[in-house]
Chains A and B, each alone.
Chain A
Amino acid sequence: MPPAVTLASAATAGGFLLVLAIILPAAGVLLALAFGRHAERIALLLMPAGFAIAIAILADVWHSQASLVAVMGGWAPPLGIALRADGLSAMMLVTTALVICAVGLFARGDFGMPAGGGEARAPLVFWTMLMGVWSALNAIWLGRDLFNLYVALELLTFSAVPLVCLDGRAETLAAALRYLLFALVGSVLYLLGVALFYGAYGTLDIGLLAGRVRAEPVVWVSAALMTAGLLAKTALFPLHLWLPPAHAGAPAAASAVLSALVVKGSFFLAVRLWFDVLPGLPGVPAAQALGTLGAAAIIFGSVLALRQERLKLLIAYSTIAQIGYLFLLFPLSTGAAAAGIWGSVAWTGGVYQLVSHAIAKAAMFMAAGLIGEALGHDRIAGLGGIGRALPMTIFAFGLGGMSLMGLPPSGGFVAKLMLLTASVTEGQWWWAVVILLGGLLAAAYVFRVLAPALAGADEPLRLCARVSRRREAVVLALAVGALLLGLLPLRPSELLQIGRPAAPTAIMR
Chain B
Amino acid sequence: MSTGFALDAGLVLDAGLAALVLAVAVGAIVAGTAFAAVVGFVTYGLLLALVWVRLAAVDVALTEAAIGSGVTGAVLIAAAARLRPAEARSAAERPGVPLRLAAAVLSALVAAGLAMLVLLPSAPAPSLGPAAAVHLPELAIGNPVTAVLLAYRAIDTLLEKIVLLLALLGVWSLAPDRFWGGAPGQPHAAQQDGALALLARLLPPVGIVVGVYILWVGAVAPGGAFQGGAILAAMWILVMIAGLRDAPATGGRRVRLLLVVGPAVFLAVGLAGFVVADGFLAYPASYAKPLIIAIEVVLTLSIAVILGLLASGPPGRERQR
Contact = CB atoms under 8 A, between A and B. Distances in A.
Interface of A: 1-5, 8, 11, 15-16, 19, 22-23, 26-27, 29-30, 33-34, 36, 70-75, 78-81, 119-122, 124-125, 128-129, 132, 135, 139, 147-148, 151-152, 154-155, 158-159, 161-162, 165-166, 168, 173, 192, 196, 198-203, 217-218, 221, 225
Nearest to A133: B166
B280 A33 contact: no
Nearest to B181: A119
Given A119-B181, A200-B126, A75 B151 contact: yes
A168 B174 contact: yes
Nearest to A212: B126
A285 to B, nearest CB: 17
A323 B113 CA distance: 29
Interface string B114-139: 10110011100111100110010011
Contact of B156 (A81, A122, A159, A173): A81
A201 B176 CA distance: 49
Contact of B152 (A79, A155, A201, A203): A79
B260 interface: yes
A26 B279 CA distance: 18
Given A23-B267, A151-B163, 17 more contacts: A2-B138, A2-B278, A3-B135, A23-B271, A29-B162, A70-B279, A72-B280, A72-B281, A73-B152, A75-B152, A125-B172, A151-B160, A158-B166, A162-B170, A168-B176, A202-B127, A221-B114
A202 B132 CA distance: 12
Interface string B142-182: 00000000011111101110110111011011111100110
Contact of B122 (A81, A166, A199, A221): A199
Contact of A30 (B177, B260, B279): B260
A79 B128 contact: yes
17 contacts: A4-B277, A4-B282, A16-B280, A23-B280, A26-B162, A27-B267, A30-B267, A33-B165, A33-B259, A73-B282, A73-B283, A74-B277, A74-B282, A79-B131, A121-B173, A162-B170, A162-B174
Nearest to A157: B163
Given A74-B279, A162-B170, A155 B122 contact: no
A158 B131 contact: no
Nearest to B273: A73
Which of B260, B279, B283 has the largest number of chain A CB atoms within 10 A? B279
B156 A148 contact: yes
B135 A217 contact: no
B280 A165 contact: no
Contact of B260 (A34, A120, A148): A34
A176 to B, nearest CB: 9
Contacts of A124: 169
A151 B180 contact: no
Contacts of B174: 162, 165, 168, 173
Given A33-B260, A121-B173, A158-B167, A1 B285 contact: yes
B159 A151 contact: yes
Contacts of B20: none
Contacts of A155: 159, 162-163, 166
Contacts of B135: 3, 75, 79
Which of B127, B257, B283 has the largest number of chain A CB atoms within 10 A? B283
A134 to B, nearest CB: 12
Contacts of A135: 159, 162
B263 interface: yes
B126 A218 contact: no
Given A2-B278, A33-B256, A34-B260, A120 B110 contact: no
Contacts of B121: 199
B205 interface: no
Contacts of A71: 279
Contacts of B281: 72-73
B36 interface: no
Contacts of A121: 172-173, 175, 177, 180
A4 B278 contact: yes
A420 to B, nearest CB: 35
A75 B131 CA distance: 11
B17 interface: no
A238 to B, nearest CB: 12
Interface in B277-301: 277-285
Contacts of A29: 162, 165-166
A264 to B, nearest CB: 19
A57 to B, nearest CB: 15
A8 B163 contact: no
A162 B166 CA distance: 9
Contact of B159 (A34, A80, A139, A196): A139
Nearest to A27: B267
Nearest to B280: A19
A2 B277 contact: yes
Contacts of B151: 73, 75
Contacts of B16: none
B159 A33 contact: no
A114 B281 CA distance: 38
List of 3 A-B pairs having minimum Cβ-Cβ separation, nearest first: A202-B126, A74-B278, A162-B170
B274 interface: yes
A79 B139 CA distance: 14
Nearest to B135: A3
B51 to A, nearest CB: 16
B294 to A, nearest CB: 16
Nearest to B160: A151
Given A30-B267, A78-B128, A81-B155, A221 B113 contact: yes
A241 to B, nearest CB: 13
B251 interface: yes
Contacts of B113: 217, 221
Contacts of B244: none
A192 B277 CA distance: 35
B155 A148 contact: yes
Contacts of B181: 119
B154 A72 contact: yes
B264 interface: yes
Contacts of B283: 73
B257 A34 contact: yes
A119 B180 contact: yes
Contact of B117 (A36, A80, A203, A218): A218
